Each structure stands twice: as C-alpha cells, then as structure tokens.
A and B are shown apart, each in its own frame.
Chain A
Amino acid sequence: AQSVTQLDSQVPVFEEAPVELRCNYSSSVSVYLFWYVQYPNQGLQLLLKYLSGSTLVKGINGFEAEFNKSQTSFHLRKPSVHISDTAEYFCAVSDHSGGGADGLTFGKGTHLIIQP
C-alpha cells in the first residue's frame, strides 16, 4: 500500500515569486509519481509525471518536479507564478504492480493562492 503526504494545505505566494509545493510518499515498491492541478469547478488535469529515468521532469505551464528516491519526495516547483496558477494541486502515486488497473493514491492537496 502507498500513501502520499502534502504537508501544506495552503501556500500563499506573491505574483512572479517562485513556489515549491511539497509531496512525500511511502511505498514498499517502485512507483510512478504524478502532479495534477484542479482549477475551480473543473476536473483534474495532469501537470507532469515521473515514470523512470531523469529525476527532473518538466510539465505544462512552466512547472517542474524532482524525484528524490532517498527522501521519498516529489516536490513541485515553478520559478515565477502567475495569477492564473491559483488552483488546487494534488500529488499522486501509483505502483507498478497492476499496470493500468491500479488506482492512484492522492495526497490531500495544496491550495496555491497567488497574491497580486
């Protein structure tokens, strides 16, 4: 079984400032890692994913995340945020065992609030 911890329920940031949203996971097997974004009244949209290979992955909208196996972390970063980045961000994990049948395990989400 896996679990995902997003310690920050809310992160306020000024516009054009950098941001890091933290995600830690636990699993007894190798995992795939994902960040999803949820804009108000919309579904979940994939920002980026780590499957294997390079530990630094780049996603849409200027976001990137770094997989750190020793720290079991997958923190999301953006060097300069915009008002339009205001949304809920979810970290999720899936293990390799069941292939496409696996459900994703989500963290509780972090609400990113961009202040002008």
Chain B
Amino acid sequence: EPEVTQTPSHQVTQMGQEVILRCVPISNHLYFYWYRQILGQKVEFLVSFYNNEISEKSEIFDDQFSVERPDGSNFTLKIRSTKLEDSAMYFCASTDEDLYNEQFFGPGTRLTVL
C-alpha cells in the first residue's frame, strides 16, 4: 500500500540554524500539506501546496518557513533560522483531489532545537 514517507525521523539543530525536512508524498496525489505538533499540544496546520504554489497557510507559517517541490517526488519544509519554540513533530500529508480531503499522513520528523 502506498504511503507518505518522511526523513529524517529525528533532527537535532542549534538555534539559528536552517533545517530542511523532507517528505515523499503518495505518487499520484496532487495536494501536499505540512502540520506540526508541539509536545502535549494539538496538531496544527501550517501550509497546503498545489500546482507548485502555496494554496493556504496558517498564521504560524511566517516568513521563516518555506516549502518547495524541487522535483517530481519530494516536498520539503525549510525553516530558515530555527527558534527554541520550533521544536515539535512535523507531519507531512498528501491527498488526491477526489478524496474529499482525506489526508494521508507520514510518520513525522521530530525536530529538536537546542
């Protein structure tokens, strides 16, 4: 069964450093998403991406964040200058437009900012 994959599973970085989190969505899907979950809190929507551009973004997704689909398979989230409060689990998801927004999630990347 096709699945969303994410790498790395755990990323440790120093405050102020740039990180790139990688995702490979399900191959025939058209919409891609990033969410984050700070420890002990709810899963929060960051951004959706369709047709090589951002479709929707939340207030959390400020100028330090960017997304890119550099090739036909990868979907990345870049955090330009990490802060302590960026420490969280980051989930990638994808969906086919025919699936009524049933989103398929990856296993997540745990980002720890020191």
Q: Which of B30, B42, B58, B104 contacts A103 (CB 8 A)?
A: B58
Residue B48 CB within 8 A of the other chain: yes
Complex alpha-carbon distance, A51 and B98, angstroms: 12
Complex alpha-carbon distance, A108 and B45, angstroms: 13
**CB–CB A102/B101 < 8 A:** yes
The stretch of B63-71, B76-84, B105-113 that contacts the partner chain = B105-113
Contacts of A32 in B (CB 8 A): 100-101
**CB–CB A46/B104 < 8 A:** yes
Residue B4 CB within 8 A of the other chain: yes
| Contact A103/B4 with A42-B107, A43-B105, A43-B106 known, Cβ cut-off 8 Å | no
Interface size class of B (residues with CB under 8 A): 20 to 34
**CB–CB B102/A46 < 8 A:** yes
**CB–CB B95/A100 < 8 A:** yes
Q: Which of A44, A102, A103, A109 contacts B105 (CB 8 A)?
A: A44
Contacts of A108 in B (CB 8 A): 41-42
10 contacts between A and B (CB under 8 A): A44-B43, A45-B105, A90-B43, A100-B31, A100-B55, A100-B101, A103-B58, A104-B43, A104-B45, A106-B35
Q: Give the 10 A-B residue pairs with the shortest CB-CB distance, closest first.
A: A103-B45, A101-B55, A44-B105, A100-B31, A43-B107, A106-B43, A43-B105, A100-B97, A108-B42, A94-B101
